[in-house]
Amino acid sequence: VKKKGGQYEKQARPVKQAAVLGAGIMGGGIAYQSASKGTPILMKDIKDDAIELGLKEARKLFAKQVERKKLTTEQMAEKLTNIRPTLSYGDFGHVDLVVEAVVENPKVKGAVLTEVEGLVGEETILASNTSTISITRLAKNLKRPENFCGMHFFNPVHRMPLVEVIRGEKTGDAAVAATVAYARAMGKTPIVVNDCPGFLVNRVLFPYFGGFSLLMQQGADFQRVDRIMERFGWPMGPAYLLDVVGLDTAVHAGEVMAEGFPERMGSLGGEAKGEGGGKSAIQAMFENDRLGQKNDKGFYAYE
């Protein structure tokens, strides 16, 4: 951890218009949170149905606020207009900060970031919501790496207070300052961290998932492990948490972590290393399209 966010904010350029790339679990949540706290946001995806799902989720969250009498229906309608769904980059010329939240794949993220960098203004900040991929690595092909940093939200975005703001080798102070200020404007608690695969939280979390994966390989019952971790005092066990994260995202992120820290990580994807051997149960579930809550079937079944 480098510095607390507050030290950067004095220099921050305000984010008046934001954009998010990807309308999935995270992109939808980021759009809702930004809209809810009053910063207009463009929500771009490559698929119509993803946009629909992102909007549906935002509507559901706003409707809950109405139910709890925290918003009137008029206020809800007004806040919803802060989210502008789109399949094109048409209005990206006027965006102050773009959060990239597409699939956890370095090649896809690299291509998307290069593409959007060519369309935005010279001072626009690009921030990646990657869970694990080094910011320095993602900055490799950017023309303005000083304008790029990590902005790592946690799932579900509307409930989790923490945001990791990650400073890559070439990230400039202005990018950190604007991202910290935007996170605060969204009602979050930003911390500024150094760059490495998994940053701070996932460096702690992924070895835990790896340990769970090895336990499963040795025949442990996932429901019992979940129950025991809940008794230990955690809000949910590893199997349920993996369903929330998405098994596809966990496998991809696990690959990045295993590459970064081979000595510390059991493998979530591919062939599990160490005791047990063979294919990891998490990889097998991913290959069988059991992706967790996003498609209603993971360790558990959802409606």
- Which residues form the interface with ligand NAD (CB under 6 A)? 21-27, 44-47, 50, 101-104, 108, 112, 129-131, 153-155, 245-246, 249, 253, 294
Cβ of residue 276: shortest distance to ligand NAD, in angstroms? 26
Whose structure tokens read 């904010």? 9
158 tagged catalytic: no
Gyration radius (Cα) of the chain, Å: 19
Nearer to ligand NAD (CB atom), residue 47 or residue 227: 47
Nearer to ligand NAD (CB atom), residue 245 or residue 285: 245
Nearer to ligand NAD (CB atom), residue 49 or residue 67: 49
**149, 152, 193: which is closest to 12 by C-alpha?**
149
In angstroms, the CA 209 to CA 253 distance is 11
Cβ of residue 159: shortest distance to ligand NAD, in angstroms? 12
In angstroms, the CA 88 to CA 223 distance is 43
Selected catalytic residue, list 94, 152, 158, 252:
152
In angstroms, the CA 189 to CA 3 distance is 13
Q: In what order do the strands lie in the sheet with 97-100?
A: 83-86, 41-44, 18-21, 97-100, 125-128, 148-152, 162-167, 189-194
Both tokens assigned to 186: 């969204």
Write the single-letter amino acid at 40: P
Nearer to ligand NAD (CB atom), residue 3 or residue 47: 47
Cβ of residue 213: shortest distance to ligand NAD, in angstroms? 17
In angstroms, the CA 109 to CA 228 distance is 37
Nearer to ligand NAD (CB atom), residue 192 or residue 253: 253
**188, 153, 147, 183: which is closest to 168 by C-alpha?**
147
Residue 203, CA distances (Å) to 110, 156, 187 in order: 22, 19, 25
Contact 149, 171 (CB under 8 A): yes
In angstroms, the CA 258 to CA 268 distance is 9
Cβ of residue 151: shortest distance to ligand NAD, in angstroms? 10
Nearer to ligand NAD (CB atom), residue 153 or residue 212: 153
Closest-approach residue to ligand NAD (CB): 24
Write the single-letter amino acid at 90: G
In angstroms, the CA 133 to CA 164 distance is 13
Active site residues: 152
